[in-house]
């Protein structure tokens, strides 16, 4: 069982920026939710950190109930403090069974690249989804992305957990082995990608647009409606 931590990043300010930095990507994830009406849905965010994704989803498209789960206790406390009147609950745990299950949909954004045992993760996801439910796991941190070899040691320096080196094939194989139907989308291929001055992650605009448009992937994992 993965141990809990206080914060994911050794430098908590690194994490504080994520809510703002990831907002445009969360909006694109919300845009690809297939259901027209999610008002009765129960929704899970795996690796929720400070909880911003579920808050944004609820404020954009209200749903019945949502659970966020993360290893980082301090971040989960911040998420609970910020939920306001929304029907959200945030838990510090590595075990999805602690959520109570019964989810119509689950999401993770930039989390699967931090999970060593993806087969176990996939099994846990399959167990908490309702039949017909789906899991959108989004990442551009994988061995098939050209910038990953440079990013991985940088992230490993500040991450309080290890940073594995999964490829598209190993990620897909883990979800398939759990009995889920898997499809992949370059879901930012047509998105407007905010440009920023070059930095250590994106040394040029070309690398930024190539990485987001080509290598930021959504693995959509569907649980058979008849199971």
Query: What backbone phi and psi angles, to 5 degrees, belong to 184?
Result: -125, 140
Structure tokens at 142: 């994988």
Residues from 137 through 196 that contact ligand SAM (CB under 6 A): 161
Contact of 95 with 1, CB cutoff 8 Å = yes
The residues pairing with 30 across neighbouring beta strands, listed in sequence order, are: none
* Interacting residue with ligand SAM among 42, 110, 122, 178 (CB under 6 A): 110
Check residue 77 and give left, alpha or beta (phi > 0: left; psi -120 to 50: alpha). alpha
Q: Which two tokens stand for residue 17?
A: 């920026």
Among the listed residues 69, 91, 129, 188, the single contact to ligand SAM using CB under 6 A: 69
Closer CB to ligand SAM, 161 or 193, in the complex:
161
- Phi/psi at 85 (5° precision): -90, 10
Report 22-51 residues binding ligand SAM (CB under 6 A).
Answer: 22, 46-47, 49
Strand partners, 89: 67
- State the minimum distance, in angstroms, from the CB of residue 212 to ligand SAM: 14
Contact 221, 135 (CB under 8 A): yes
Out of 105, 115, 125, 178, the only residue in the binding site for ligand SAM (CB under 6 A) is 115
When binding is defined by CB under 6 A, the residue of 43, 114, 171, 172 that contacts ligand SAM is 114
Determine if 8 is a binding residue for ligand SAM (CB under 6 A).
Answer: yes
Residue with tokens 């039949």: 131
Interface pick for ligand SAM out of 41, 57, 111, 126 (rule CB under 6 A): 111
CB-based contact 128:102 (threshold 8 Å):
yes
CA dihedral (202, 8, 30, 218) positive or negative:
positive
Give the Cα separation of 82 and 68 in Å (integer): 12
Nearest distance in Å: CB 134, ligand SAM: 17
Of 111 and 221, the one with the shorter C-beta distance to ligand SAM is 111
Q: How far is the CB of 227 from ligand SAM (least distance, A)?
A: 24
Which residue of the chain is nearest ligand SAM when measured via CB? 47
Nearer to ligand SAM, 67 or 71 (CB): 71
Binding to ligand SAM, residues 70-99 (CB under 6 A): 70-72, 75, 94
In contact, 113 and 163? CB cutoff 8 Å: yes
Q: How many residues bind ligand SAM (CB under 6 A)?
A: 20
Q: Rule CB under 6 A: which residues touch ligand SAM?
A: 2, 8, 18, 22, 46-47, 49, 53, 69-72, 75, 94, 109-111, 114-115, 161
């Amino acid at each position: 069982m993965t141990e809990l931590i206080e914060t994911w990043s050794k430098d908590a300010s690194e994490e504080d920026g994520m809510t703002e930095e990831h907002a445009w990507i969360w909006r694109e994830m919300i845009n690809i939710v297939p259901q027209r009406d999610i008002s009765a849905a129960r929704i899970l965010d795996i690796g929720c950190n400070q909880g911003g994704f579920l808050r944004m989803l609820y404020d954009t498209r209200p749903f019945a109930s949502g659970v966020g789960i993360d290893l980082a206790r301090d971040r989960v406390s911040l998420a609970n403090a910020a939920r306001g009147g929304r029907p959200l609950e945030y838990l510090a745990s590595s075990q999805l069974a602690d959520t109570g299950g019964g989810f119509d949909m689950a999401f993770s954004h930039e989390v699967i690249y931090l999970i060593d045992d993806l087969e176990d993760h996939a099994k846990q996801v399959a167990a908490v989804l309702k039949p017909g439910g789906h899991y959108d796991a989004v990442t551009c941190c994988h061995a098939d992305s050209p910038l990953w070899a440079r990013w991985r040691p940088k992230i490993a320096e500040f991450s309080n957990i290890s940073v594995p080196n999964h490829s598209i094939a190993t990620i897909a194989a883990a979800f398939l082995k759990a009995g889920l139907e898997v499809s992949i989308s370059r879901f930012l291929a047509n998105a407007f990608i905010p440009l920023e001055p070059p930095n250590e992650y994106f040394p040029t605009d070309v690398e930024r647009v190539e990485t987001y448009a080509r290598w930021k992937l959504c693995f959509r994992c569907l649980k058979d409606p008849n199971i």
